[in-house]
Structure 1
Amino acid sequence: MFDPEELARIREARASWKEETYAPTVDRFGERAETFTTDTGGRTVSPLYTPADLADHDYREDVGFPGEEPYTRGVYSTMHRGRLWTMRQYAGMGTARETNERFQYLIDQGSSGLSMAFDLPTQMGYDSDAPMAEGEVGRSGVAIDTLDDFETVFDGIPLDSVSTSMTINAPAAVLLAMYVAMGDEQGVDREELRGTIQNDIMKEYIARNLYIYPPEPSMRLITDIFAFCAAEVPSFNTISISGYHIREAGSTAAQEVAFTLANGIEYVEAALDAGLDVDAFAPQLSFFFNAHNNILEEAAKFRAARRMWAQIMDERFDAGNPKSKQLKFHTQTGGSTLTAQQIENNVVRVAYQALAAVLGGTQSLHTNGKDEALALPTEQSVRTALRTQQILAHESGAADTMDPLAGSYYVESLTDDIEAEAFEIIEEIDRRDGALAAVESQWVQRQIQDVAFERQREIEAGERIIVGVNEHTVDEEPAMDIEEVDPAQEAAQRDRLAAVKADRDSEAVDAALAAIRSAATGDENLLPPIIEAVKAYATVQEICDVLREEFGEYTPNR
């Protein structure tokens, strides 16, 4: 990309600058630290970057143009100049009625997509009346037991005009079935349904532990969803391969990319083993990344991930459709970076993280509420979080040109470094027989735990400054308005579930569950019988229990 003779002159000039200009100043006044590193990777940051740091760069092969391989600069030719990212605020509140009200509020405030949070029992495939659910109903999101709850959540919200993301994994097939059933009820053609299900069981084994079934049947459920959606719901993203929770568990930026893409490789291989054509399902794959505080490292991370996925799909899987090579991703600002102390500081953190996501070319974005280190966000906090995106979109200028950091000697160097480190990790995973084997042996988990331990040590030793926590603290925190879940809602949800069970056709439910069992014991796609079961108002747990009985439950190796 640069003339070799000019590079030699730049290297000579930099050496002279370092000796004659930089070093005397450092000797006299010092610097803020002996070494500077990136946020989590320990990657040393040089005091100055020049074209000499990009000596081996080929613009067309390494950077290119938006909408063209290697997609470093974005997957679409116009990026945010043509259409802003989807402002998809994550929400789920106790009961279905409350969630509907929050969704309606977000739409009224300008949110362009919905993102649905489920309570812990729903995520684990239990109904609200299960002993395991006691004390958790509606706490971390909305309680969904039957299609009746879904009908309430989406009351007055036409599914042909919104895009909905659902953060659900082990029971993803059941919740997708409810969404399809809701679309059928509303008369929306299945081809018009738009949205995403997370459906990423690998990261549950790695970072969140909200799994139900062992890996093999879990992969079968995922590939059944791939096949069903490719044929019936082609505009719906069938999986959101998630690095977000991997980063929340403590990983570095490069580990987040590596483990996420390694999981993506595992899913593609499982789908191919199930007989699917790569170009039939790969365009519906999507990704989900975290945005942390180091703006330039985060933007470089997103650029590296896009370039890597294009190479992986081309070289490993011989994908022919350009859309199969495009890494499209949602971003959420870093929940683990939010502090319970001086929560107003979190507004600033979230704004910087959102800027990093936009500079990195995200397709959709959730900005956290300032109070989420303490509770579900209040309505005011949600509005401020959404306004953060709107100000970024309409006032900052960050979305007015594509990949504005391209050509920065530092950012291009960071992009290359993250890519190289992430590929090294993927190569190690390959040597360990792939992502699933590396997860089952706990190797992936140990890599993340080591980083998380070191980061916490740095914070406690004061080597890593967290404003308001170990520096710039205050003696007394002001009183705060915190969102609280009414304990009476749990009893009300159980009464609602009992009423649905009493009113439904029990014989139809039994027949539908029997059809799911039959499909599970054979090789029939599970989605059609699950859709029929939810239409008969079978519960989430009733369906998941059939699969528990047929597939078993996962117990990790320790």
Structure 2
Amino acid sequence: MSDLKKKTDSVAESPSRDVFEGRNPSQSEKDWAEQTLGPALEKSPERPIGRATGSNLDENGHARFSTISNVPIRRLYTPADLPEDWSYDQHLNYPGQEPYTRGIHATGYRGKLWTMRQFSGFASPEESNERYKFLLAHGGGGLSVAFDLPTLMGYDSDHPFSEGEVGKCGVAIDSLEDMEILFDGIDLEKTTVSMTINSPASILWAMYLAVAEKQGADWKKISGTLQNDILKEYIAQKEYIYPPAPSMRLVIDTFEFGSKYTPRFNTISISGYHIREAGSTALQELAFTIYDGVEYVEWSQRRGLDVDEFGPRLSFFFNAHNDFFEEIAKYRAARKIWYRLMRDRFGAKNERTWLMRFHTQTAGVSLTAQQTQNNIARVALQALAAVLGGTQSLHTDSFDEALALPTAQAAQIALRTQQIIAYESGVANTIDPLGGSYFVEKFTLDMEKGAFDYFDKLDAMGGMVKAIEKGYPQKEIAEASYQFQKAAEAREKVIVGANEFIVEGQPSDTLYIDESVGEAQTKKLKALRSRRDNASVQRALDALKKAAAQEPKAGENGNISPVNTMPFIVDAVKAYATVGEICDALRSVYGTYEESAFA
């Protein structure tokens, strides 16, 4: 055997370096490997991107290339990487046609650009209202509301648990009065609004609907998205209040209410973003997020709801991380998977139910506090991946968010990043420009298969709620996060400016929220409680508690709906009951949840 042949065979010993294993290469590819690749490797061996130790080397000491999720990457992708039965019509097809790999709209971004929806909210409703008007005036296409921690956890600003947190990570909203201020001068019939709120989602949504009604808006015309994804809270973000079962009941109440009264409003954004921020791989984000969607559909059907009634208003929310092609493959696979699930598992007949619509946000967890301006480049690449993956709306993080909430200048740069991609890069001029790439198509297929493998495991556990109670997704994410951190600390994964190419001492101006916000909100609450009709508030809260206590009953076609809590929450909100008071009423019925320790 020639030395060149030995060299080529040694290359084939490692799947991460192999151009043959598990494939059926053409003769021309074999000739390339022997005549061109072999001599090139002999002259100049490949080197790992990070430090040449551990996971960056295979068992033969060769460089090992992998994605940020540690998925091995071949050096070359050709038709031999696709299954023998791979066909354009079955696996790709045309844009707007099943399985929607190439997008859900026939014209892509040539017909309509993605919505540039910047996530914002800080300090008081008055200050956030000014920021919203600033973003809209500078070309933002929609708003996305960030709430502070007390609001997310269902406490008023004057509660002892809220001390030191009011307005710090988002806007403080205590009552309908605050929501009125937040959207003062913003036409809710013409502006799409997304709200990142979960446990108290139905309460904040009721406030939003009440404000829209006061503006004279038609509920049937307003559009936007309520995050309302409680499952990912138990899995990753941990901002839950009630136990899983009653929390799911509240979510399904919003589905039922929304399908009747707000047909253009998405009553949930099933969120992989926070799963990825907690340290998951791209595949885990994809699989756990979509299976959360499966769980919501199954609980809705048990309530007796028709999937083709509420299904078209289900939406998703994904992360855009640093590994460019892995992210694009994830989005493309997501559309294929959701189509298959809706059509085959749930028997949906409405084509709109088959369509996965999703929002994307660039990866906050990827931003570094060191050399913060490097984050502008990271965000641009992540946003480009989301666009090439076919997102319906996009938020680009500001470069200073590893340090604090963004300044107005940083928020403007983030928005300009989207506008440059949209109007200068040319990527929106054709539909799915990476379709047909052997690398992208192979990764899309692998993502799809990997997700269904996870689905089989979750089905065997009895669904996502049961899996959460067993700690399964939490442990999977924790292990993935640990492995990435180890690789970063060993400098096997390069983080520019943090573990390589380090420059000391680069201060940056940041936005600081002081305690005056909490003091102002406390005064506002005291004044509100003194002038409102407190007897009406108490009657509304008592009626809500009575409705919340009613359990669904078994019926011929599943569980008969209990009294829907949404109308009672709307009544309480209109009486100016506060977020904390309404959550306390529900706490008195449902109790609170504490996560168990998992081995």
| TM-score bracket for the superposition, by shorter chain length | over 0.9
1:519-530 → structure 2 map (5 Å cutoff): 519-522=547-550, 523-530=562-569
Hey, what does 2:480 align to over in structure 1? 451
2:584 aligns with one of 530, 545, 548: 545
Instruction: Kindly indicate whether residue 60 of structure 2 is the aligned counterpart of residue 45 of structure 1.
Output: no
How many residue pairs get aligned? The number is 550
**Paired amino acid for 1:128:** S
Instruction: Kindly indicate whether residue 192 of structure 2 is the aligned counterpart of residue 163 of structure 1.
Output: yes
Unpaired runs of at least 5, structure 1: 1-7
Instruction: Kindly indicate whether residue 41 of structure 2 is the aligned counterpart of residue 26 of structure 1.
Output: yes
**Paired amino acid for 1:505:** D
Determine if contact 2:68/2:322 at 8 Å carries over to the other structure. Answer: no
1:116-515 → structure 2 map (5 Å cutoff): 116-477=145-506, 479-515=507-543
Q: Deviations over 1:417-439 (max 9, x none)?
A: 11111111111111111111111
Rounded Cα–Cα distance in structure 2 between residues aligned with 1:35 and 1:532: 64
Residue 9 (structure 1) shift: 9.6
Rounded Cα–Cα distance in structure 1 between residues aligned with 2:339 and 2:393: 20
Q: Deviations over 1:394-446 (max 9, x none)?
A: 00011111111000011000101111111111111111111111111111111
Rounded Cα–Cα distance in structure 2 between residues aligned with 1:282 and 1:76: 18
Determine if contact 1:163/1:194 at 8 Å carries over to the other structure. Answer: yes
Normalised to the residue count of structure 2, the TM-score between the two structures is 0.91
Q: Deviations over 1:261-302 (max 9, x none)?
A: 111100000000001001000000000000011111111110
Rounded Cα–Cα distance in structure 1 between residues aligned with 2:70 and 2:397: 26
2:593 aligns with one of 539, 554, 558: 554
RMSD of aligned alpha carbons: 1.1
Q: Once structures 1 and 2 are overlaid, which stretch shifts more, 259-268 or 31-40? A: 31-40
Q: Deviations over 1:497-531 (max 9, x none)?
A: 11111111111111111111121122211111111
- Percent identity of equivalent pairs: 52
- Secondary structure at the aligned position of 1:116 is classed as strand
Rounded Cα–Cα distance in structure 1 between residues aligned with 2:182 and 2:103: 34
Rounded Cα–Cα distance in structure 2 between residues aligned with 1:270 and 1:545: 25
Residue 355 (structure 1) shift: 0.2
**Paired amino acid for 1:13:** S
1:106 aligns with one of 132, 135, 146: 135
Residue 38 (structure 1) shift: 3.8
**Paired amino acid for 2:519:** A
Rounded Cα–Cα distance in structure 1 between residues aligned with 2:146 and 2:63: 41
- Secondary structure at the aligned position of 1:190 is classed as coil
Instruction: Kindly indicate whether residue 30 of structure 2 is the aligned counterpart of residue 15 of structure 1.
Output: yes
Residue 65 (structure 1) shift: 1.2
Rounded Cα–Cα distance in structure 2 between residues aligned with 1:228 and 1:420: 35
Q: Once structures 1 and 2 are overlaid, which stretch shifts more, 537-546 or 480-489? A: 480-489
Q: Deviations over 1:52-101 (max 9, x none)?
A: 21233111111111111101111111121100000000000110000000
Rounded Cα–Cα distance in structure 1 between residues aligned with 2:483 and 2:81: 29
Rounded Cα–Cα distance in structure 2 between residues aligned with 1:402 and 1:502: 58
Determine if contact 1:38/1:297 at 8 Å carries over to the other structure. Answer: no
Q: Once structures 1 and 2 are overlaid, which stretch shifts more, 244-253 or 13-22? A: 13-22
Determine if contact 1:115/1:165 at 8 Å carries over to the other structure. Answer: yes
- Secondary structure at the aligned position of 1:473 is classed as coil
Residue 19 (structure 1) shift: 1.5
- Secondary structure at the aligned position of 1:481 is classed as coil
Change beyond 3 A, Cα 1:304–1:35: farther
- Secondary structure at the aligned position of 2:359 is classed as strand
**Paired amino acid for 2:357:** K
Determine if contact 2:67/2:73 at 8 Å carries over to the other structure. Answer: no
Rounded Cα–Cα distance in structure 2 between residues aligned with 1:289 and 1:81: 23
Determine if contact 1:35/1:44 at 8 Å carries over to the other structure. Answer: no
Determine if contact 2:68/2:323 at 8 Å carries over to the other structure. Answer: no
- Secondary structure at the aligned position of 2:220 is classed as helix
- Secondary structure at the aligned position of 1:494 is classed as helix
Determine if contact 1:314/1:325 at 8 Å carries over to the other structure. Answer: yes
Hey, what does 2:104 align to over in structure 1? 75
Rounded Cα–Cα distance in structure 1 between residues aligned with 2:589 and 2:68: 42
- Secondary structure at the aligned position of 1:65 is classed as coil
Rounded Cα–Cα distance in structure 2 between residues aligned with 1:39 and 1:99: 38
Residue 10 (structure 1) shift: 5.6
Rounded Cα–Cα distance in structure 1 between residues aligned with 2:71 and 2:155: 44
Rounded Cα–Cα distance in structure 2 between residues aligned with 1:67 and 1:514: 49
Unpaired runs of at least 5, structure 2: 1-22, 49-61, 551-561
Hey, what does 1:3 align to over in structure 2? none
**Paired amino acid for 2:568:** P
Q: Once structures 1 and 2 are overlaid, which stretch shifts more, 424-433 or 252-261? A: 424-433
Normalised to the residue count of structure 1, the TM-score between the two structures is 0.97
**Paired amino acid for 2:27:** E
Residue 37 (structure 1) shift: 3.8
* Bigger Cα Rg: 2
Rounded Cα–Cα distance in structure 1 between residues aligned with 2:71 and 2:404: 34
Q: Once structures 1 and 2 are overlaid, which stretch shifts more, 343-352 or 438-447? A: 438-447
Rounded Cα–Cα distance in structure 2 between residues aligned with 1:429 and 1:17: 44
Q: Once structures 1 and 2 are overlaid, which stretch shifts more, 16-25 or 39-48? A: 39-48
Rounded Cα–Cα distance in structure 2 between residues aligned with 1:308 and 1:229: 25
Determine if contact 1:39/1:293 at 8 Å carries over to the other structure. Answer: no
